Amino acid sequence: MFFLTSAELFEKGGPMMYLLLLCSLTVAAIAIDRFMLYRRASQGARALEAEVSKSLRGRKVNELAPAAEGQDNMVAYLVRTALDARAAGEDVPMALDAAYGEAAMLLRARLNYLSMIVTMAPLMGLLGTISGMIESFSIFNLQAGQPMAITGGIGEALIATATGLLVAIFSLVVHTYFAQRMDVMLTLLEKTMNTLQAGFAVVDGGNRHAS
């Protein structure tokens, strides 16, 4: 389908091609933005979660801060949030819930635009095709007896539909990929939250009994 990149066919596709081009550029921009965010959010996150779990099983809370230090992933963000809340005497589960909500909102950001483009792009292409066919029938009325006038026009009008479908497929693939990564990341964050809450409950409960 590389012929669709031809400037000539792009022009023949009609005005709707410019909107479809804008949609494809939007998808590409979101893909780059989400890739950079997810890479930063997940880099070293799984290893840190394992280290947090190991430290809390050994009741070594003092090892959490050094483990999370210098890391920019979302697991480190939860760990720092929990430690800060605990040090300030605040409700740790509530602080973790708020931090998890912020992280989830950040991970979900802009994915809804991809869903919208998946639905909208084929409709835009179809609209471009219909308007092109209307124009073709108008030409046919003016050039009666010349079938090529209408068949050629319809062929050109279908370019918009094909382009709309390609944009929708591109957007669907990108959305599915990042939705999957989001699910994996949210599952890891939930696991980290549960580990921190359970670990602090055991450690703090043991300290109270000891005192």
- With contact defined as beta carbons under 8 Å apart, do 81 and 99 qualify? yes
pLDDT score for 137 = 66
pLDDT score for 157 = 72
pLDDT score for 150 = 55
Q: What is the residue type of 35?
A: F
Residue 5: inside a domain: no
In angstroms, the CA 184 to CA 165 distance is 29
In angstroms, the CA 158 to CA 140 distance is 17
pLDDT score for 132 = 76
Q: How many CA atoms lie within 13 A of 204 on its CB side?
A: 12
Residue 86: inside a domain: yes
pLDDT score for 102 = 96
Residue 197: inside a domain: yes
Record the tokens describing residue 61, joined without a space: 């809370």
* Mean pLDDT split into 10-residue runs, the chain, 211 residues: 61 86 97 97 95 92 92 96 93 95 96 96 90 68 53 69 94 98 97 94 66 50
Domain that holds residue 87: 14-201
Residue 4: inside a domain: no
In angstroms, the CA 29 to CA 126 distance is 24
Residue 61: inside a domain: yes
Residue 62: inside a domain: yes
Residue 136: inside a domain: yes
Instruction: Tally the domains of the chain.
Output: 1
Closest CA to 200 of 50, 49, 53, 56: 56
pLDDT score for 3 = 47
pLDDT score for 118 = 97
In this prediction the pTM is: 0.83
pLDDT score for 152 = 54
pLDDT score for 139 = 57
Residue 7: inside a domain: no
